[in-house]
A and B are shown apart, each in its own frame.
Chain A
């Protein structure tokens, strides 16, 4: 939906250099996250101290001195005091941290190594290999976590190394499952097939195609689990199964301190605080790393968009007046996206109107702003990053952008309804289609469930779903693509809308099904007097269903007229060339000439005509100042200073 606007800029090679520098580096992103930065700084400090421990002027951590036992912190010569055997607590803490950190990190790396190998092999080869390996992992996971660790240590005997093995083994399933899931997704991507056809063997494919794509997930998993592993090692040591006396690690210090918790609280409080600081800083950093490496989080996709697009208008349109029976009037609508330091003018001043019972087509290539225009009409563009920065939309004579949120919501799905390209995006997978229709009806009308159900069945019949009574109980996945789209249309019709906004409703469908849907929409228009705004890139579909058509290019309408005018006498060079470059059934020998180049990126539009770089009629004047939309009479208009007069196609 909004991606049309966002992918637009990618299509222009000239802006790529700019784009690259505009995208913040991973380090910058990490630094921007203050909590993660704090975690990183603390952790770096701890690691630094731990690395230089051997050369620090610390007393021997294991040297006992009964005379000095249980000194309080800040005592002479013992900054953090001493324990029950008179050993220096600061020294033990630092040496202990060193041990705990080393064990925790080693355990993570071992678990990551084995877990990733199992996960990748299992996910890549699939089938029997996958089955056997995953059943093994399931068996490991069936045991309670700590019990398994205890069992392993019990079998191997207590000791730090054995604790390390136990923690690593216990964590292997977690890694294996995570990595397998990701690998399965990647192994079925087409580039893996392409690599096979490039002559690469399995090992090479795993190492050079799969691993680079799985690596971020491995790093994320390590960075988010290392903290827990340190805790677990501490746990085993606390139980006396890890570090053996006199060696110190944070867990064993805690365990020893526990016995004296009432008399010398600092003995357990100090290692406890250290564990807290360590695990906290690692987890904060881990979350930061995850945010940087996971593009979904980076793009803010998880942030909840506002219910209504942000409106921050500098103008309210040119105040053009439209005929009386106008259902929808759009006046100089402008919608922008702000991403980083760039602003993308996805819709750069669009004006058109849809009359009663009229079908208006909006045609253009991907990225031309069709979908953003449609979504802007009722404030459905996600904010952030979208903002409506200018213009006006009148629906049924009322200014949509002047309405309250509730009023707009009432229009959506009520008097104006959307039909999208992918019906699955509007249908909930877990409810029957009948129930979903009922909900749509009852959201706008106070009717009983039974009446609404009857209406739902009637609607399904209206969109010609065979056997609507029983089909109403079906779930979306039980229907074919064509049927789902019909249900999508039935949803749109639920409240007898005055306007249907259909965004490429047939693009994903087969031609035979497309023909049925187009006929259905035509019938609905005749029977109910509904108006339709039909978005498509296919001139064949336009001919079939539209009365008038607007051609969009780089966020603006470049030509508008009746279907007859635009298709048979295009005035804009772009329209003409767009029509010419599609092969036409029944005319295989007609010359199809490609349009050279690509549309301009909407974050970097030229001053003059946006089509100038691709136009064969371009002249000096085309590149200075914006081009006005000229009226050619009879409702035909064009945004070109040298329109083609009466060009025949």
Chain B
């Protein structure tokens, strides 16, 4: 698949990850419909980098993210965290897993228990994952609030008294409390106002530098992903369709879907988006098409596209796309 396994600084890696929902048999022996949320994903994350994952709603981003932190289990394939299998980690010591990889949720308010003080929410990971109590715990709480630029008196407030940006800082503080190496951020700024978005993005950048963190940054917003990522993977319908290092993906997209995404994003000060034909049907997650999932919408589609699923070789340094007829000739990096 990829050369990632030979490189020692890969901290998180997935192989042929598949997650389906539903399925099985009904009471009368009929087949229940199966939703294919994630359909075979290989990604690798290096220590200290930010891997950006971008895709539209329903493409399986959140499902992937939840599997990466152990909130959900893959139907097929596996995830390894510096060499150890995620399933073993979950079975043996869930706490050890949560001490290494943490999650920041999309909706800052609903990820905080409305009936608990911020102090209690933040004390959870400190107490159960880091074994702190008493004076040590209080000291650490103050440090955490300081790290995310919140005033310490906010500890004794309830979530509804916070703005979205403040609540998201608390969410980040909760992730930091476990002192993880990796943080999976699922649309961390999508629910925030633009002026607050920048505050949180800057905070995340500072924290990464300060604590040597590794990020998996998931978003539907291309410009945000472009600004924060060292490598970027584009997802479409449960698969990674293109992956590249640095800005290559934005400068020279290979996959027609990436091109479409880039052309559809409105940019301040510019006019004239290219728009695809409105009649293009999106693929049905209950019945994935046999060949390339993008084929019904693809202007470059040919006969071979619907016959077979295009494959790609995603490495840590190269730029590749799962497409039979990519836009620019592939140049290996």
A537-B111 in contact (CB<8A): no
What 1/0 mask marks residues of chain A from 532 to 543 whose CB sits below 8 Å from any chain B CB? Answer: 000001111111
Of A191, A577, A578, the contact of B113 (CB 8 Å cutoff):
A191
Q: Scoring B residues 256 to 275 as 1 if CB is less than 8 Å from chain A, else 0, what string do you get?
A: 00001111111111111111
CB of A197 within 8 A of chain B?
A: yes
Q: Are A197's CB and B71's CB within 8 A?
A: yes
- B302 CB-CB contact with A under 8 Å: no
Whether B34 is near chain A, meaning CB under 8 Å from some CB there, is no
Q: Nearest-CB distance from B238 to chain A (Å)?
A: 15
Number of A-B residue pairs at CB separation under 8 A:
208
State whether the Cβ of A598 lies closer than 8 Å to any Cβ in chain B: yes
Assuming A194-B174, A199-B129, A516-B276, is B265 touching A585 (CB within 8 A)?
A: yes
Q: For A577, list chain B residues within 8 Å (CB).
A: 195
| Known contacts A10-B163, A191-B112, A544-B273: A199-B95 contact under CB 8 Å | yes
**Is A528 in contact with chain B by the CB < 8 A criterion?**
no
Shortest distance from the beta carbon of B46 to any chain A beta carbon, whole Å:
19
Min distance, Cβ A602 to any Cβ of chain B, angstroms: 14
Which of B151, B202, B267, B278 is in CB contact (< 8 Å) with A584?
B267
> Do B278 and A197 touch (CB < 8 A)?
no
Interface residues of A in 105-139 (CB under 8 A from B): none
By beta carbon, the residue of chain A nearest B195 is A595
Query: Which chain B residues lie closer than 8 Å to A19 at the CB level?
Result: 161
B175 (CB) vs chain A CBs: closest residue: A197
- Chain A residues 557-613 with CB under 8 Å of chain B are 567-568, 577-579, 581-586, 588, 592-596, 598
Q: Is the CB of A539 within 8 A of B268?
A: yes
**From B150, which residue of chain A is reached at the shortest CB distance?**
A13
Residue in B103, B105, B194, B247 with the greatest tally of chain A CB atoms within 10 Å: B194
Q: Chain A residues near B276 (CB, 8 Å)?
A: 512, 515-516
CA distance A594 to B169 in the complex (A): 15
For the complex, is A480 an interface residue (Cβ under 8 Å from B)? yes
CA distance A582 to B267 in the complex (A): 10
Is the Cβ of B116 less than 8 Å from the Cβ of A649?
Answer: no
Establish whether residues A581 and B197, one from each chain, have CB atoms under 8 Å apart when the complex forms.
yes
Contact partner, A365, options B98, B194, B268, B274, Cβ 8 Å? B194
State in angstroms the CA–CA spacing of A189 and B274 once bound together: 38
With the chains together, A208 CA to B193 CA distance in Å? 31
What is the bound-complex CA distance between A537 and B196, given in angstroms? 12
| A10→B116 contact, CB < 8 A | no
> Is there contact, CB below 8 Å, between B124 and A198?
yes
Q: Report the Cα distance A481→B220, complex, angstroms.
A: 15
Report Cα–Cα, A568/B268, bound state, in Å.
9
B198 at the interface (CB under 8 A from A): yes
Residues in A whose Cβ lies below 8 Å from that of B202:
592, 594
In the complex formed, the residue of B with least CB distance to A486 is B278
Contact B161 A512 (CB under 8 A): no
Q: Residue B279 contacts which of A199, A464, A649 (CB distance < 8 angstroms)? A: A464
Contact status B265-A193, CB under 8 Å: no
Residue of B110, B197, B264, B271 near A512 (CB, 8 A) is B264
B198 with A581: CB separation less than 8 A: yes
Q: Are A13 and B166 in contact (CB under 8 A)?
A: yes
Q: Within 8 Å CB of A426, what residues of B?
A: none
B94 sits at the interface (CB 8 A) = yes
Assuming the contacts A10-B161, A592-B227, asked whether A365 and B267 have C-beta atoms less than 8 A apart, the reply is no
A361-398 with Cβ < 8 A to chain B? 365-366
Kindly state whether residue A644 has any CB partner on chain B within 8 Å.
Answer: no
Instruction: Check B105–A212 contact: CB distance below 8 A.
Output: no
Closest Cβ of chain A to B294, distance in Å, is: 11
CB pair A582 B198 closer than 8 Å: yes
Are A567 and B56 in contact, with the CB atoms below 8 A? no
Q: Judge whether A642 is part of the interface by a CB distance below 8 angstroms.
A: no
Hey, which chain A residues are within 8 Å of B129, CB to CB?
198-199
Question: Are A511 and B124 interface neighbours, CB within 8 A?
Answer: no
Given contacts A191-B111, A481-B57, A515-B264, contact A585 B102 (CB under 8 A): no
Name B56's contact: one of A189, A512, A568, A596 (CB within 8 Å): A512
Q: Which B residues are in CB contact (< 8 Å) with A200? A: 124, 128
Given contacts A193-B105, A195-B124, A199-B125, A540 and B110 within 8 Å (CB-CB): no
**How does the 8 Å CB contact mask read for B51-92 relative to A, with 1 for contact and 0 for none?**
000001100000000100101000000000000000000000
Give the interface residue-count category, chain A: 35 or more
Nearest CB of chain A from residue B53's CB, rounded to whole Å: 15
Contact B111 A583 (CB under 8 A): no
A145–B80 Cα distance when bound, in Å, is 55
A620 within 8 A of B: no
Shortest Cβ gap from A626 to chain B (Å)? 23
Q: Closest Cβ of chain B: how far from A368's Cβ, in Å?
A: 9
**Chain A residues, Cβ within 8 Å of B330:** none
A346 vs B223: C-alpha distance when bound (angstroms): 31
Q: How far is the CB of B300 from chain A (nearest CB, A)?
A: 16
Tell me which residues across on chain B come within 8 A of A189, comparing CB atoms.
110-111
Please report which residues of chain A, range 16-41, place their CB below 8 angstroms from some CB of chain B when the two chains form the complex: 16, 19-20
Q: Are B198 and A519 in contact (CB under 8 A)?
A: no
Q: How far apart are B39's CB and chain A's nearest CB, in angstroms?
A: 19
Q: Judge whether B199 is part of the interface by a CB distance below 8 angstroms.
A: yes
Instruction: Assess the A595–B266 pair: CB atoms within 8 A.
Output: no
Interface string of A510-521 (1 = CB under 8 A from B): 111011101110
* Distance from A459 Cβ to chain B, minimum over Cβ atoms (Å): 14
CB of B209 within 8 Å of the partner chain: no
The answer to whether the Cβ of A196 comes within 8 Å of any Cβ in the partner chain is: yes
How far apart are B95's CB and chain A's nearest CB, in angstroms? 5
Which A residues lie within 8 Å of B166 (CB)? 13
Interface centre among A20, A510, A542 (most CB of B within 10 A): A510
The verdict on A299 contacting chain B, using a C-beta distance below 8 Å, is: no
B211 within 8 A of A: no
Does the CB pair A16–B103 fall under 8 Å?
no
Within 8 Å CB of B49, what residues of A?
none
Smallest CB-CB separation from B251: which chain A residue? A586
- CB pair B198–A199 under 8 Å, yes or no, is no
Assess whether A540 is in contact with B267, with CB atoms less than 8 Å apart: yes
B101 CB, min distance to chain A CBs, angstroms: 9
Contact B105 A543 (CB under 8 A): no
Contact between A538 and B266 (Cβ–Cβ < 8 Å)? Answer: yes
Given contacts A511-B222, A578-B195, A583-B227, contact A199 B124 (CB under 8 A): yes
Does B23 touch A at the CB level, under 8 Å?
no
Considering only residues 167-212 of chain A, those with a C-beta below 8 Å from chain B are: 189-191, 193-200, 208-209, 212
Judge if B316 is at the interface, Cβ distance under 8 Å: no
Residue in B106, B275, B282 whose CB lies within 8 Å of A519: B275
* Cβ B110 vs Cβ A190 within 8 A: yes
Please, which residues of chain A bring their CB within 8 A of the CB of B103? 193-194, 197
A contact residues around B165 at 8 Å (CB)? 598
Per-residue CB proximity of B162-177 to A under 8 Å, as 1/0? 1111100001001001
Q: Roughly how many angstroms separate A588 CA and B230 CA in the complex, as a whole number?
A: 11
Is A543 touching B71 in the complex (CB atoms < 8 A)? no
Asked if residues B273 and A515 are in contact (CB atoms below 8 Å), the reply is yes
Among residues of A, the one whose C-beta sits closest to the C-beta of B163 is A11
* Cβ contacts under 8 Å, A584 to chain B: 223, 267-268
Interface status of A466 (Cβ within 8 A of chain B): yes
- Given A199-B128, A200-B124, A594-B198, residue A540 in contact with residue B265 (CB < 8 A): yes
Asked if B16 is an interface residue, CB under 8 A from chain A, the answer is no
Question: B residues engaging A (CB < 8 A)?
Answer: 56-57, 66, 69, 71, 94-95, 98, 102-103, 105-107, 110-116, 121, 124-125, 127-129, 151, 154, 157, 160-166, 171, 174, 177-178, 193-199, 201-202, 220, 222-224, 226-227, 247, 250, 260-276, 278-279, 281-282
What are the 7 tightest A-B residue pairs by CB atom distance, in nearest-first order?
A540-B266, A199-B128, A198-B124, A11-B163, A594-B198, A539-B268, A581-B198
With A193-B111, A510-B220, A540-B270 given, name 10 new contacts (CB 8 A).
A190-B110, A191-B112, A194-B121, A198-B124, A538-B194, A543-B267, A543-B270, A583-B224, A585-B267, A595-B198
A residues contacting B by CB (< 8 A) are: 10-13, 16, 19-20, 189-191, 193-200, 208-209, 212-213, 365-366, 464-466, 480-481, 486, 510-512, 514-516, 518-520, 537-544, 567-568, 577-579, 581-586, 588, 592-596, 598, 649
